[in-house]
Amino acid sequence: MKETKRLIIFLVLVFAITWALDFFVIKPMVAEQGYGKGIIAQGIVAATMFIPALCVLLTRLFTKEGFKNSKLNFNLGKGRTRYYIIAWLLPSVLCTLGALAYFLIYPGRFDASHSYIIQQSAEMGVTITPEQMEQKVWMDLIVAVLMAPLLNVITCFGEEWGWRGYMMPKLLGKMKFLPAVLLGGLIWGLWHAPIIAMGHNYGTEYAGAPWVGIAMMCLFCIALGTLFTWWCTKTGNCWPAIIGHGAINGFAGAPLYYIAANDAPLLGPTPAGLIGGSALIIAAVIVIILQARQSRKTIAAE
């Protein structure tokens, strides 16, 4: 009962603080400037990533839980190191496979000349030649694969110490793996709901907006959260989720370099789309199957 109370306090705090910023600070800016165009609004959206970690601190202090089991200790060795490496590299592979699936289904939307990004840059007052764009693409891809988890570690720590370091261990203490990751992913997805409604990831010009976009974000968060939770349970800390979150944030936009027009974001080519995220979803299903088999073996051995 005590853990349930702590979990509820954490969730109330994280939703109340985040949604207050979304509705009363970010939304008025978006209404005036449009989503993604105001630098200050974008900065505040990025800052909301620190709110889950802040709420972990507040909850642990309010409830006198302390920090003994904070899920921040590195547990290396004994087969655990591989999960950190997987968290670093696998998101880029899954993003690439999902993008390939999208372009195989819609070959007419593939554009190797990077015209979409060149056009977007021009609208922001930045002129880039095709030759410069080609160099930029390769440099960005290399940085995204090799450096993004490290570059994004601070902001991603803000989310993952909350979701995988605090929320998920408490959910897993009360239910089996599958319902825990489904519920945890749903909560994580709904946390994004206000900014999805404002145009984050999917824009606003699609059928069923914003509800279809919110549902798609929940599916994305369930799949991604399943992988993150699996890695964290294998290592006993939340660092693989922090690394994986940094990796996905760094590489998720890469497929947009090769699209003619981003007119179907609910489908792809980024992993937040249904087809673009297909490899991610399949990987999550595989993890669920592996976890179920492991649970059956554990029960049989007892």
What is the tens place of the pLDDT at every residue in 131-166?
888 888 899 999 999 999 999 999 999 999 999 999
State how far the Cα of 251 lies from the Cα of 96, in Å rounded to an integer. 9
Using an 8 Å Cβ cutoff, are 183 and 174 in contact? no
pLDDT per residue over 165-223, tens digit each? 999 999 999 999 999 999 999 999 999 999 999 999 999 989 999 999 999 999 999 99
pTM of the predicted structure, to 2 decimals: 0.94
Alpha carbon distance 233, 58 (integer Å): 24
Looking at the structure of the chain, the number of domains it has is 1
Whether 47 maps to a domain, the answer reads no
* Cis preceding linkage at 269, omega within 30: yes
Residue 24 lies in a domain: no
Residue 253 lies in a domain: yes
Amino acid (1-letter code) at residue 270: T
- Residue 87: inside a domain: yes
Domain that holds residue 209: 78-301
